[in-house]
């Protein structure tokens, strides 16, 4: 709990009077007709954490790419310490002291951590040889500052995604930057790593570095930032002092209306047990998992990344072979060894990684939606376009998928609509059990609440639903019952109506007895 306490100390800031960096009237269009940024202006002070918020497509990333010299603005000026600066490429930005820490990783996997941190700036010694000793020494010092528990000599390809992100952050610390931009830095970090990152941000701030922090996560923004600037549809919507605002105001600025977060707590009786899991184990990944889901019920599975949640879903879906225990569907024992069996038996899994596991991005929306029901839209193996279109039209309407047509490539849709296509694909199979793994990851606030509503509706119409999530508001918002996972075990089971946030945090962080 030490980490949690230490965040509380962040809040206060004494900003300088003139901003160290200011952007004025930045406009950027992508031909032929996409206006990504429309006259955006904002300023950042030294020693300030300035949060940049906005839905997907609001222009945050484009703005930061302009700042980092990756895109060139069509109009507008960037001032650094009062002087206008011109940036032609990312190197210019770096030399001006502006560092962008990317959402996507840009590491060389086959090199060591140290080589990656100092890529392009390897320390030399006479006559022009790499000074390995200094390289590893310096790199280890930076890693120590980041409290990383891996060595500078480790190969990057052997690290987990979270650790790779820490290496990416370590790169920024090689220089003494004036401005550091973090673009969704915590998306793949565990809580512990997140707190280390917050400490680093705190350090940088204390050294007078200006920090621009882009994130979807409200809680982070409220604990970290001093001021918040909101973008919507490529336009500037306002800057507020974090201390003087609340989530409601920010949300209104972001989406232009208030969100309906309340849900009807349906006290209707649930049906029979549909899925029953008994003592399911899979090696060291998870052990002794028992739970059941009734018809019409949403069970939330809450826990940290690495607690074994995704692995349970994958085992149920036939992607992993369990080492013990059994799974009953409608009271009958299931023996599923591959995904084809799983689909045939009425299981559906909306996977964690939409783009890599959920969709064939190069294919049309229609072809993606019918992917799991090809036998129903064909006779003697020959597909019927008409039947395929029927299925697409049905779910496009039911789920309110915003796409110009079924022939549209699914890769061109927004994240929220892509996720709806994945959900549509599974509804088309008329499953008994619907498993959703991180259903709103990387989806903007507006679409998020839409998907939450959808999950409730699906349960109401008779599906048994399992929602896996690492976001507490999501779990609390959609579930009837919550399972807390810790270290490969179910560490507590709670009724949504009775649980407190405190209970949940404790249950996913420490070993304890369940309490239902």
Instruction: List contacts with another protein (CB under 8 A).
Output: 29, 31-33, 35, 89-90, 317, 319, 338-340, 342-344, 349, 351, 356-363, 367, 371-372, 374-375, 378, 381-383, 425
Quick one: 190 or 339, whose CB is closer to another protein? 339
In the complex, the smallest distance separating the C-beta of residue 359 from another protein, rounded to whole angstroms, is: 6
In the complex, the smallest distance separating the C-beta of residue 367 from another protein, rounded to whole angstroms, is: 7
DSSP class per residue in 19-59: -SEEEEEEEEEETTTEEEEEEEEEEE-TT-EEEEE--TTSS
Interhelix angle 161-172/132-145, rounded to 10 degrees, is 110
Quick one: 243 or 344, whose CB is closer to another protein? 344
In the complex, the smallest distance separating the C-beta of residue 147 from another protein, rounded to whole angstroms, is: 32
Quick one: 4 or 360, whose CB is closer to another protein? 360
In the complex, the smallest distance separating the C-beta of residue 427 from another protein, rounded to whole angstroms, is: 13
In the complex, the smallest distance separating the C-beta of residue 72 from another protein, rounded to whole angstroms, is: 10
Quick one: 205 or 425, whose CB is closer to another protein? 425
Q: Is the dihedral of CA 307, 312, 314, 320 positive or negative?
A: positive
Quick one: 15 or 119, whose CB is closer to another protein? 119
Quick one: 57 or 90, whose CB is closer to another protein? 90
Taking the C-alpha atoms of residue 278 and residue 39, their distance in angstroms, rounded to an integer, is: 58
Q: Is the dihedral of CA 90, 95, 96, 99 positive or negative?
A: positive
What strands, in cross-sheet order, belong to the sheet with 433-437? 347-350, 433-437, 464-469, 298-302, 481-486, 489-495
In the complex, the smallest distance separating the C-beta of residue 177 from another protein, rounded to whole angstroms, is: 20
Furthest C-alpha separation in the chain: 79
Taking the C-alpha atoms of residue 395 and residue 457, their distance in angstroms, rounded to an integer, is: 14
Quick one: 35 or 187, whose CB is closer to another protein? 35
Q: Is the dihedral of CA 66, 69, 70, 76 positive or negative?
A: positive
In the complex, the smallest distance separating the C-beta of residue 351 from another protein, rounded to whole angstroms, is: 5
Is 309 strand, coil or helix? helix
Taking the C-alpha atoms of residue 146 and residue 165, their distance in angstroms, rounded to an integer, is: 11
Q: Which helix (H) or strand (E) holds 163?
A: helix 161-172
Instruction: Let me know: does 439 contact 470? Beta carbons within 8 Å.
Output: no
């Amino acid at each position: 709990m030490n980490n949690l306490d230490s965040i509380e100390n962040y809040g206060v800031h004494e900003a300088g009077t003139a901003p160290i960096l200011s952007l004025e009237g930045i406009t950027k269009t992508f031909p032929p007709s996409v206006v990504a940024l429309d006259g955006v202006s904002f300023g950042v002070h030294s020693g300030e954490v300035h949060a940049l918020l906005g839905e997907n497509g609001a222009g945050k990333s484009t703005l930061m790419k302009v700042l980092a010299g990756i895109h060139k603005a069509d109009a507008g000026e960037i001032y650094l310490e009062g002087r206008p600066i011109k940036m032609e490429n990312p190197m210019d930005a770096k030399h001006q002291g502006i560092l962008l820490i990317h959402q996507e990783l840009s590491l060389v996997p086959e090199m060591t951590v140290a080589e990656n941190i100092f890529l392009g700036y390897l320390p030399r010694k006479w006559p022009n040889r790499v000074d390995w000793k200094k390289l590893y020494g310096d790199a280890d010092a930076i890693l120590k500052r980041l409290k990383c528990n891996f060595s500078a000599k480790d190969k990057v390809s052997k690290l987990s995604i979270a650790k790779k992100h820490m290496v990416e952050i370590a790169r920024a610390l090689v220089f003494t930057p004036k401005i550091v931009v973090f673009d969704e830095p915590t998306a793949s970090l565990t809580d512990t790593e997140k707190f280390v990152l917050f400490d680093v941000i705190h350090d940088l701030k204390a050294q007078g570095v200006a920090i621009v922090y882009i994130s979807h996560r409200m809680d982070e923004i409220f604990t970290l930032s001093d001021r918040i600037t909101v973008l919507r549809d490529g336009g500037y919507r306002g800057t507020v002092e974090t201390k003087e605002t609340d989530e409601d105001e920010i949300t209104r600025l972001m989406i232009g209306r208030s969100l309906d977060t309340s849900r009807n707590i349906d006290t209707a009786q649930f049906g029979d047990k549909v899925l029953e899991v008994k003592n399911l184990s899979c090696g060291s990944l998870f052990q002794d998992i028992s739970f059941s889901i009734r018809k019409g019920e949403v069970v939330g599975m809450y826990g940290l990344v690495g607690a074994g949640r995704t692995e349970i879903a994958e085992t149920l879906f036939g992607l992993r072979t369990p080492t013990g225990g059994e799974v009953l569907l409608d009271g009958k024992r299931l023996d599923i060894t591959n995904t084809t069996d799983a689909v045939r038996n009425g299981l559906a899994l909306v996977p964690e990684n939409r783009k890599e596991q959920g969709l064939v991005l190069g294919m049309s929306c229609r072809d993606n939606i019918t992917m799991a029901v090809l036998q129903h839209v064909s006779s003697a193996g020959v597909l019927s376009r008409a039947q395929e279109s029927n299925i697409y039209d049905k779910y496009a309407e039911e789920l309110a998928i915003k796409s110009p047509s079924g022939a549209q490539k699914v890769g061109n849709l927004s994240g929220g609509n892509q996720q709806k296509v994945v959900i549509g694909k599974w509804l088309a199979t008329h499953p008994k059990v619907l498993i959703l793994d991180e259903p709103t990851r990387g989806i903007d606030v507006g679409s998020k609440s839409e998907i939450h509503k959808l999950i409730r509706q699906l349960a109401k119409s008779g599906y048994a639903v399992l929602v896996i999530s690492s976001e507490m508001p999501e779990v609390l918002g959609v579930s009837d019952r919550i399972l807390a996972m810790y270290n490969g075990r179910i560490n507590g089971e709670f009724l949504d109506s009775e649980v407190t946030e405190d209970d949940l945090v404790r249950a996913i962080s420490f070993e304890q007895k369940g309490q239902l």
